[in-house]
Structure 1
């Protein structure tokens, strides 16, 4: 084997390695582009999940605040209804807002007085 053929053989091997490296680089670039699309889709899905969770937390907070306001308003109505003064104590205001027959102490009419 001559020295020139050795160099040609060495040069051929280097060219084969270079061609293989180019093919590998091209394949990796294609895979990189595909993975970029997959990553973008995953990021969109993550953003949607975060938004959905935040909206749910806001809705639950608003619902809890509304429920608390309604409960407080009902409690105020019940308190106001039970605090209504009744003539002579013959009717009693119940916590439910209904009235019942009964007597309060000190409100019994004087049966023995003439007037």
Structure 2
């Protein structure tokens, strides 16, 4: 019987050694996985930051440059200084309309004005992003948040303490 017990003890010892080896291997793999996930996260953040930086002047990245030889694209600008993608957001003045804004900013203001007319209490950046038909990824959401905050800084929108963006009350409408 001692030999059978000895065999069982040897097998148990071998199983313990194997378990310890696998635990060490699992720890190594988990550590490597953690490092790889950290690298991935940094790369995703960097890509998001780059996309936001490139999209900051206007949401349309594909057409930021206007060809000076193209007379069709110059016609609206010559007609009244119509904004183009990439133009600076002007400060809101009395009587100014959303037409003074670049198309991407105008869409945000018009969307929020429409939301207010149906009794809405403003929209969060994520809700704005969804209503604009953009993909709900951090880079797009932060790009829209950045644009909306720029509109707040230029007096086109207001930001509630809860983080909701709302259109600013129009001065001429209040007077009439």
The TM-score with structure 2 as length reference comes to 0.35
1:13 aligns with 2:16: no
Residue matched to 2:50: 56
Residue matched to 1:30: 24
Residue matched to 1:110: none
For residues 17-37 of structure 1, give each alpha carbon's deviation from its aligned partner in whole angstroms, at most 9, with x where no partner exists. Answer: 001001101111111111111
Report the Cα distance in structure 2 between the residues aligned to 1:17 and 1:11, rounded to whole angstroms. 10
| CA RMSD across the alignment | 3.0
Q: CA deviation at 1:60?
A: 1.3
1:42 aligns with one of 12, 36, 46: 36
- Structure 1 stretches of 4+ with a deviation exceeding 2 A read none
Report the Cα distance in structure 2 between the residues aligned to 1:64 and 1:79, rounded to whole angstroms. 21
Q: CA deviation at 1:63?
A: 3.8
The runs of 5 or more residues in structure 2 that have no matched partner are: 81-176
Q: CA deviation at 1:56?
A: 1.2
Q: CA deviation at 1:53?
A: 1.2
From the two aligned structures, give the one with the greater helix fraction: 1
Matched residues, number: 71
Q: CA deviation at 1:79?
A: 4.0
1:87-102 mapped onto 2 (5 Å cutoff): none
Residue matched to 1:97: none
